[in-house]
Chains A and B, each alone.
Chain A
């Protein structure tokens, strides 16, 4: 029995695979590992003078970081493209100008050679300044290229005092340029300003912020972050929505990313064939300090401006995003329309947001928007609220039984009457 089931299942899978491959040659190549789509990670390590402070499990911050790196490098999956960059590793002097440019690539982003990378990390000694902003910019440059996700893991124990631009602003600009660029930050025994700065950097790029107090915690977290992107396969495609329906770009089913400034509306066009259902979902992230009340609006509108369906969502308080979604099934063309198929309908999708920010907050680049567009088979229309118009419950049983009984009684009378007629004749 089990063997039969297995065989049947195997046969089914094999046939399905063959059929799918035959029908979809493009999807087969998308599933194969593609070096262009491999996730890229760069670890950015602070090697400033303060890293020699001995306050992590009795060790210095630097040696804790080194041990953590060793363990992380050992467990990193082979297909991960990993690089290491340092900040403040080389210039021990007091010249602010020079110290604030001190960032160097310790190990280039690429296929990982564990021994080489470990040897490079072993040479580090706490030395100089903390130029976080320039290091992030350089790391973003290191990671350039490829279609996979890009992640920067920043490990530091102090804030950037170099200026003039806040590293948080730099992080936001980096996120706006790159595709799927995330910065995760880890603060080693941070003070309040360092924590604020690091959490701001993380928030600006959709990353995470962690306070580190123990070496094991550092190891686990960096391991977790490095391995985080290995499963995800779908990366959003950048698109720029138009200011109105006429100038909107046409999007096909897929995942898109865009930027939308405060209280802006952007339009996209989708072609929906008869018999298809349009599915649109959008989330707008707040990557900076915003006012506590916010909202998002998603509308589907015909080319003539008639609204088909809308969804709006409002919220307040701490959040990473606000989202909305809609469905628009386009019915199949009527049967009497003849041979030529009905043309696809162009539906305009409007994405608006009602985020607001205090005047001190920069409005450019805009807020990150993620738009998911899908086209699926349109639903089987309901002819009745109940499933197939069927009934349910004791009242139904009572009614049916009563009706049957009354019918039986009437039929019995009828037959008695017929017998009586027959008798008299």
Chain B
């Protein structure tokens, strides 16, 4: 639980406030129209998803930390969408398992690609995003660690912003004879907190396209104003004050001599 997240009660309060505002403000339709609203069907399903989408539009929404699985055929393009929030270092892991069948498969290359909410391809800082499976191998492990998600970026950069992230898993190089053979895929996105040093100024509406409106962190988007920088700065101020008092006590001398009366 990050300190930045609002507590459930505070969130409810915020929701109440928003609701009241929406009810009153005449400009509400335009506002509501612009913000992607989570679809009720997505939250209804229990447990991690067992299906994958086939393109950006149908990408299966999955939460961070959930291990999504899918039965697929070799050659399929599998899509999932997960939320990435400000200040997170996201790592995506995928495992492709070849079920033991009478058919032995030839060598194949598997790859994960991560795209942001604007379908811009995101580079991996490290991790094997593409790997070759030897003939007869039982599984392939892939991983990709993204750059830290920031709260603001220039419009002409493709720095990762908070919002939906799409994960595509596919075989990039396969023998024709392997086409259509069954495989099992499992993916999981996890995140660690990058800390205050990554906190940037400004905030951008989460990059969640309408077709993936159900991609929202389970605790809602974290606020963009909080960062550990507040603690560092306040702590620095307190230390400065203490050091100031210390320095003053060192040099001011004894002050007014004791024996001399006040009224002279």
Co-complex (A, B)? yes
Interface-facing stretch out of A72-80, A125-133, A350-358, A377-385 = A377-385
Please determine whether A387 and B37 come into contact, CB atoms closer than 8 angstroms.
no
* Complex A-B, nearest 4 residue pairs according to Cβ-Cβ distance, in ascending order: A325-B118, A408-B247, A404-B240, A412-B251
Q: Which positions in A face B, CB cutoff 8 Å? A: 4-5, 8-9, 11-13, 15-16, 18-20, 22-24, 27, 31, 182, 187, 190, 192, 195-196, 198-199, 206-211, 213, 217, 220-221, 224, 228-229, 231-234, 236, 253-255, 276-277, 279-283, 285, 309-311, 313, 317-321, 323-329, 370, 372, 374-377, 379-393, 396-397, 399-413, 415-416, 419, 422-423
Q: Which residue of B lies closest to A214 (CB)?
A: B101
Q: Given A388-B201, A404-B247, is A195 in contact with B32 using a C-beta cutoff of 8 Å?
A: no
- Which residue of B16, B75, B77 contacts A12 across the interface (Cβ within 8 Å)? B16
Chain B interface size, under 10 / 10 to 19 / 20 to 34 / 35 or more: 35 or more
Taking A209-B179, A392-B196, A396-B232 as known contacts, 9 extra A-B pairs with beta carbons closer than 8 A to each other, sorted by chain A number, are: A15-B20, A199-B179, A253-B210, A323-B119, A382-B202, A383-B201, A392-B197, A412-B253, A419-B256
Q: Which positions in B face A, CB cutoff 8 Å? A: 8-9, 12-13, 15-16, 18-20, 22-23, 28-29, 31-35, 37, 39-42, 51, 54-58, 71-73, 75-77, 101-103, 115-121, 151-152, 155-156, 158, 170-174, 176-177, 179-182, 196-197, 199-205, 207, 209-211, 225, 227-230, 232-233, 235-237, 239-253, 255-257
Please determine whether B121 and A323 come into contact, CB atoms closer than 8 angstroms.
yes
Please determine whether A209 and B180 come into contact, CB atoms closer than 8 angstroms.
yes
Q: Which residue of B lies closest to A386 (CB)?
A: B201
Please determine whether B203 and A380 come into contact, CB atoms closer than 8 angstroms.
yes
Query: 20 A-B Cβ contacts within 8 A?
Result: A12-B16, A15-B16, A19-B19, A24-B29, A195-B179, A195-B180, A231-B41, A232-B58, A279-B118, A283-B56, A323-B115, A325-B119, A327-B155, A377-B34, A379-B204, A382-B201, A386-B200, A408-B247, A419-B253, A422-B256
Distance in angstroms from A198 CB to nearest chain B CB is 8
On chain A, the residues within 8 Å of B207 by CB distance are 279
On chain B, the residues within 8 Å of A321 by CB distance are 55
On chain A, the residues within 8 Å of B33 by CB distance are 24, 253
Distance in angstroms from B159 CB to nearest chain A CB is 11
Please determine whether B203 and A313 come into contact, CB atoms closer than 8 angstroms.
no
Most chain B CB neighbours (cut-off 10 Å) among A11, A196, A231: A231
Q: Given A187-B180, A408-B244, is A372 in contact with B210 using a C-beta cutoff of 8 Å?
A: yes
Please determine whether A404 and B176 come into contact, CB atoms closer than 8 angstroms.
no
Q: Which residue of B lies closest to A186 (CB)?
A: B180
Most chain B CB neighbours (cut-off 10 Å) among A196, A206, A382, A396: A382
Please determine whether B22 and A405 come into contact, CB atoms closer than 8 angstroms.
no
Distance in angstroms from A116 CB to nearest chain B CB is 28
- Which residue of A208, A381, A397 contacts B202 across the interface (Cβ within 8 Å)? A381
Please determine whether B243 and A402 come into contact, CB atoms closer than 8 angstroms.
yes
- Which residue of B42, B205, B241 contacts A376 across the interface (Cβ within 8 Å)? B205
Docked CA distance A22–B22 (Å):
9
Please determine whether A15 and B19 come into contact, CB atoms closer than 8 angstroms.
yes
Please determine whether B54 and A206 come into contact, CB atoms closer than 8 angstroms.
yes
Please determine whether B119 and A390 come into contact, CB atoms closer than 8 angstroms.
no
On chain B, the residues within 8 Å of A19 by CB distance are 19-20, 22-23, 28
Distance in angstroms from A311 CB to nearest chain B CB is 6
- Which residue of A310, A390, A391, A406 contacts B247 across the interface (Cβ within 8 Å)? A406
Please determine whether A400 and B119 come into contact, CB atoms closer than 8 angstroms.
no
Docked CA distance A370–B249 (Å):
71
Please determine whether B172 and A317 come into contact, CB atoms closer than 8 angstroms.
yes
Q: Given A318-B172, A372-B211, A376-B35, is A309 in contact with B248 using a C-beta cutoff of 8 Å?
A: no
